[in-house]
Chains A and B, each alone.
Chain A
Amino acid sequence: MVWMVRETASEITERIAKHRAPFRLEHFFYQTNRVGVGSVPMVILLSVFIGLTMALLTGYQLQRFGTVMLVPAIVSVSFTREMGPLFTGIVLASRIGAAYTAELGAMIAGGEVDAIEGMGIGAFRYLVTPRILAIFFLTPCLTVISVVSGIVGGMFISSLMLQISYGFFYDQVMTNLLVKDVMAGIVKSFLFGAIIGMIACYKGLSVKGGAVGVGVATTSSVVIAISTVIACDSFCNIVMVTFFP
């Protein structure tokens, strides 16, 4: 992977030295549309259901202790810091990471990447840069959508089954949610975007063995990206709780 990052950086530097754009904006916007707009329905759907389930199960437990009013704070803080970035990461690793790997893998198997490189275009810069930048910048945007959807899901079920009004839920969210919670979620999501993009592109460009190789690389890309995102999430949580309590 270091090799891919080094080559991409070298090709970008080469382009900039020639006073040329390192990548085409239209390619970047095409990828952002795919990563962002294309993933919105799935992110909203999953987040609403997860927020709803989380509020419901937490509420039933807290009812036993008479502290059901803590549900809005618990749902909003945990969704903003943890569930939103993590679920967005998992959705993107499986939806976009798999697509990146399969696409680049098929291009390697068909000799397209060699052809682009042979023309002197710089295959890494041309193929990798818009993809990684798109997922890097769009993961935080999708995370915000996921967080809002999760809180709305929690708010809906709290009103319906836990007798918490929308107004009270909203006030509690606004009171308990701190800027540092939002920042923690956003910073993590940038990191997850970069991890997924790099793993997916690297796996795609390392494909060997035709169609079977593309399949193997795609599976491996999704598994590695999801595992790395979860591991990285835990590490980030430890760091944040230790240094920014």
Chain B
Amino acid sequence: MNAKPEKLVEMRGVKLKFADKVILDGVDFSVQKQEILVVMGLSGGGKSTLLGILMGLLKPSAGSVLFKEEDLTKLSRPKLNEARTHIGMVYQNAALVSSMNVRDNVGLPLTELSDKNDKEIDSIVDQKLDLVELKDAKNKLPSELSGGMQKRVGLARALALEPELVLFDEPTAGLDPINGKHIDDLIVQLRDKQKVTAIVVTHEMESAFAVATRMAFLHEGKIILEGTPEEFRHTDNPIVSKFLSAHADDKHAKE
């Protein structure tokens, strides 16, 4: 008998308004353990906002956000901070602390939240930087790194506390194809080798299809389609089809 897949994250009827503008209008989805859910949608459609809600940085106007069956929107600050240590996030602009070198950036969650000594922290930092192939950049400041390298350091930092869930906000946006592919490979590797669950927000089609085990399309504040990459390729949903074909046309034009 097959075991029922375990839900790690679930959003139920999540709504968010800024003043009179509705950003999310009842978002429902769930993510099973070791899945990579790719959330796509038009720019400014609320994809990054969704991640902000999952991190507890934004509070939804309605609905619930369950992480390991606990509602993040109802947790007290200490419990929310505790939950956050199980979630890593890679930001669109990397969001590294600009005054700290790479070593200190990656080690920041460890120095602040764990009881590990400097030697142990150094060893974990080395291990994570090795994973993203940036061990040589340990003493550099973020300003001395390229955009792709900064994102990889951001990923190393997100992985420092061995999170169960990693959120990626446009991980390949603005990167050249080689760096973009490198990030995609890392996301897949994380799932395969470290059993990490991921939610990836992107509008880069190639990247989306390369990493996704499941996909969701966010449009006008709602998930209008959810399914496997294969189901997405053959969808007859007019908005999603238009989105995918626009990307295909763009790709052909570039070729």
- Which residues does A use to contact B, with CB under 8 Å? 10-11, 14, 17-18, 24, 106-107, 110-112, 114-122, 126
Q: How far is the CA of A119 from the CA of B85 in the complex (A)?
A: 6
- Which residues does B use to contact A, with CB under 8 Å? 52, 55-57, 77-78, 80-85, 87, 89, 91, 93, 95-98, 108-109, 111-113, 157, 161
Is A121 a contact partner of B57 (Cβ separation < 8 A)?
Answer: no
User: Which listed residue, A107, A110, A120, touches B81 by the CB 8 Å rule?
Assistant: A120
**14 new A-B pairs (CB below 8 Å) besides A112-B95, A118-B56?**
A106-B98, A111-B93, A111-B95, A112-B97, A114-B91, A115-B89, A117-B57, A118-B57, A119-B108, A119-B112, A119-B113, A120-B80, A120-B84, A126-B112
Q: Assuming the A-B contacts A11-B77, A14-B81, A110-B98, are A121 and B108 also in contact, with contact meaning beta carbons closer than 8 angstroms in the complex?
A: yes
Beta-carbon nearest neighbor of B90 in chain A = A115
Beta-carbon nearest neighbor of B55 in chain A = A118
Residues of B within 8 A of A112 (CB): 95-98
Is A121 a contact partner of B109 (Cβ separation < 8 A)?
Answer: yes
User: Which listed residue, A107, A110, A115, A121, touches B113 by the CB 8 Å rule?
Assistant: A121
How far is the CB of B94 from the nearest CB of chain A, in Å? 8
Residues of A within 8 A of B77 (CB): 10-11, 14
Q: How far is the CA of A112 from the CA of B56 in the complex (A)?
A: 15
Q: Which of B52, B98, B157 has the most CB of A within 10 A?
A: B98
Q: How far is the CA of A120 from the CA of B110 in the complex (A)?
A: 11
Beta-carbon nearest neighbor of B85 in chain A = A120
Q: Which of A106, A114, A115 has the most CB of B within 10 A?
A: A115
Residues of B within 8 A of A121 (CB): 81, 108-109, 112-113
Is A114 a contact partner of B95 (Cβ separation < 8 A)?
Answer: yes
Q: Assuming the A-B contacts A118-B55, A118-B57, A118-B84, are A111 and B109 also in contact, with contact meaning beta carbons closer than 8 angstroms in the complex?
A: no
11 A-B residue pairings within 8 Å (CB atoms): A17-B78, A107-B98, A112-B97, A118-B55, A118-B57, A119-B84, A119-B85, A119-B112, A120-B83, A120-B84, A121-B108
Beta-carbon nearest neighbor of A114 in chain B = B57
Q: How far is the CA of A111 from the CA of B111 in the complex (A)?
A: 20
Residues of B within 8 A of A120 (CB): 80-85, 109, 113
Q: How far is the CA of A223 from the CA of B170 in the complex (A)?
A: 40
How far is the CB of A130 from the nearest CB of chain B, in Å? 13
Residues of B within 8 A of A14 (CB): 77-78, 81
Q: Assuming the A-B contacts A116-B97, A121-B108, are A111 and B91 also in contact, with contact meaning beta carbons closer than 8 angstroms in the complex?
A: yes
Q: How far is the CA of A106 from the CA of B83 in the complex (A)?
A: 27
Is B97 a contact partner of A122 (Cβ separation < 8 A)?
Answer: no
Residues of A within 8 A of B93 (CB): 110-111
Beta-carbon nearest neighbor of A23 in chain B = B112
Q: How far is the CA of A110 from the CA of B142 in the complex (A)?
A: 12
Q: Which 8 A-B pairs have the closest CB atoms?
A: A120-B84, A115-B95, A120-B81, A111-B95, A118-B55, A14-B78, A121-B112, A119-B109
Beta-carbon nearest neighbor of B169 in chain A = A111
Residues of B within 8 A of A10 (CB): 77
Q: How far is the CA of A122 from the CA of B57 in the complex (A)?
A: 11
Residues of B within 8 A of A18 (CB): 78
How far is the CB of B121 from the nearest CB of chain A, in Å? 13
How far is the CB of A38 from the nearest CB of chain B, in Å? 16
Q: How far is the CA of A114 from the CA of B95 in the complex (A)?
A: 8
Q: Assuming the A-B contacts A10-B77, A11-B77, A14-B81, are A118 and B98 also in contact, with contact meaning beta carbons closer than 8 angstroms in the complex?
A: no
